[in-house]
Homo-oligomer: A and B are copies of this chain.
C-alpha cells in the first residue's frame, strides 16, 4: 500500500483538522493509501522525526476541533534553516535532507497544508523532485488562485460575534468602539465582519484612510442622534500619507508583537479631532481559534478529499482550490504569485458604500 505524509504549516486556522480527517478518510475508504502524520510541519521532516499512524480511529472526534493535531511550526523553512553548532548559528539549505528523510521514512507522496510560506516551500521542493500536493490555508483569505480559503469564514464569524457583543455596550454608553481585526495585508476579514457586524466605518489596507472623512462620519452619526458608532479596522490599515508599518509575526529576536497598533493609532486620531467617547478592542488570536464554522468544515473537507484524489492520480505540484462553487486545482506556482487584494469594485465593497458604511475614502 502506498503511503502519503501530511503536514500542517504556518499560523493557526480553523479547519486544519477537518482537512486532515478528510485526507485520512478518503485514503482509507476510497483510494487505498496509508496516511502518516508529520509533526511540526517541515521541522518534522528536517529532523526526520517518527511519523504518526493516521487512521479513522486515531482521528476520531477532531472535525470540530480548532488547532491542528499535527502541530505546526514557523521555524522550519528547509531552504533557510537556522542551524546551531558549537554555539554558532548559521542559515543553511537543508532541503536535500528533507528529500532524503521523505524517502527514508517511506513516504511516496506528501500533502502540505499551509499558507503562502508553506506553499512556497512545497513548490521549491516539488521542483527538486518531491511528489507534493498543496492545500491552501489562511484565515486572511488573501491567497490568489482560490476564491475562498477555509478558516476565513470562522474568523469572520468570531469577529462578528465580538461586534455583536460590543454593539449594545456602545449604544448604551454612547461610545465609539474601535475594533481591530486581523488582516496585515488585505481587508477581507475587516470588510466581511464589519458588514456582518453592523459597522459604520470599515478601514482596510487596500484603502489608505482619510481621517477627516472618518471623523466626519462619526460626528454626523452623533448629530443624528445615533449616539454611538462601530469602527472596524484591519491591523494593516493606515491613514493616507501614513507609513506602511507592519511587524512580522513573532518579530525579530525575542520581541513580543505590538498589541493593537492600528486600532490604538486610529482611536488617538479620533480623540484629537473630536470629543467623542472612544474605546479600543483588539480581537487578536481568538480569531485564529475555535471550532470551525459549518462553511469552513465543509470547504476543508472537500479540500482534503480532493487533495487525496490528486495524490492518487499523481497530479503533483498542484494545489487544490475553490473556483465558484467547484473544488478544483491549479499549479502551486500560480497560487503563490501575489496576494489576493480586496477588489475595490467588488460586491461587498459596493454594498458597504451603498448602505452608507464609510471606508475612509
Contacts and interface: CB of A to CB of B under 8 A. Distances in A.
Given A153-B295, A301-B351, A165 B290 contact: yes
A281 interface: yes
A153 B67 contact: no
Given A26-B355, A324-B324, A72 B195 contact: no
Nearest to A285: B281
A226 B58 CA distance: 11
Given A71-B174, A275-B254, A324-B324, A354 B297 contact: no
A226 B61 CA distance: 11
Given A173-B72, A196-B297, A285-B177, A264 B256 contact: yes
A243 interface: no
Nearest to A326: B347
A157 interface: yes
A347 B309 CA distance: 13
A197 to B, nearest CB: 8
A268 interface: yes
Nearest to A264: B259
Contacts of A351: 22, 301-302, 305-306, 327
Nearest to A346: B325
Contact of A165 (B26, B158, B171): B158
A16 B26 CA distance: 33
A222 interface: no
A147 interface: yes
Most buried by B among A30, A57, A160: A160
A344 to B, nearest CB: 15
A48 interface: no
A51 interface: no
B305 A160 contact: no
B285 A166 contact: yes
Given A57-B225, A254-B271, 6 more contacts: A60-B226, A63-B197, A160-B297, A196-B297, A302-B348, A305-B351
Interface of A: 8, 11-12, 16, 21-22, 25-26, 28-30, 56-57, 60-61, 63-68, 71-74, 147, 153, 156-158, 160, 162, 164-169, 171-174, 177, 192-193, 195-198, 224-226, 250, 254, 256-257, 259-260, 264, 267-268, 271, 275, 277-282, 284-286, 288-291, 293-295, 297-298, 301-302, 305-306, 308-309, 324-327, 347-348, 350-351, 353-356
20 contacts: A22-B351, A26-B355, A26-B356, A29-B355, A56-B224, A66-B168, A67-B171, A71-B171, A71-B173, A73-B173, A160-B297, A166-B289, A169-B288, A193-B294, A196-B301, A259-B260, A260-B260, A282-B282, A293-B294, A298-B348
- For the complex of A and B, the 5 pairs showing the least CB-CB separation, nearest first, are A67-B168, A165-B289, A29-B356, A25-B355, A67-B172
